[in-house]
Amino acid sequence: MSERTLAIIKPDAVKKHVIGDIIHRYEQVGLKPVAMKMLSMSKSVAEGFYAVHKARPFFGSLCDFMSSGPAVVLVLQGDNAIKKNRELMGATDPAKADAGTIRNAHGTNIEFNAVHGSDSPETAQFEIGYFFPGMEIFN
Ligand code: IDP
Ligand code: MG
């Protein structure tokens, strides 16, 4: 079933000049970009995006990281896009991410891990709407 997921190429990956490599990986597995933009999140925008994690000890540091420079946010569309993107990303901790995954290739540590991907249809809906109005998403 075709679905949509929200992906972020995080500030660490933008600084490493691997935007192109990551988008190529999405396209190679059939995750089609249907919306995309570069933006630099304010701290409060990052806090709103990660509100589900606000009780976690790493919340402040995570929001500082996500607002530390430009990121690329995308909507990816394809069959089982949410699960497919999670598999392509690899484990949260790059040291535990399988060979061939984005985090294995480009992650630095459990915080600076190169990419974000929605983890369920409910979070995908919230996250896509957080960054993109419907008129900026294409088929
Ligand atoms: P996910 O990105 O694989 O879904 P989450 O548990 O949702 O992982 O955590 C969101 C983000 O918070 C991670 O991608 C990573 O940047 C950061 N993070 C997760 N766990 C830790 C931690 O233990 N220490 C520092 N940062 C963390
Ligand atoms: Mg998550």
What would the pLDDT profile of 86-104 be if each residue is shown by its tens digit? 999 999 999 999 999 999 9
113 lines ligand 1 (CB under 6 A): yes
pLDDT for 1 equals 87
* Residues designated as active site: 116
Instruction: Encode pLDDT of 7-22 as tens digits.
Output: 999 999 999 999 999 9
Residue 5 confidence (pLDDT) above 90: yes
**Predicted model pTM:** 0.98
Place of tokens 């933008």: 14
**Centre of ligand 2 from the C-alpha of residue 83, in Å:** 12
- Residue 78 falls in which region: left (phi positive, over 0), alpha (psi -120 to 50) or beta: left
Longest dimension (CA), the chain: 39
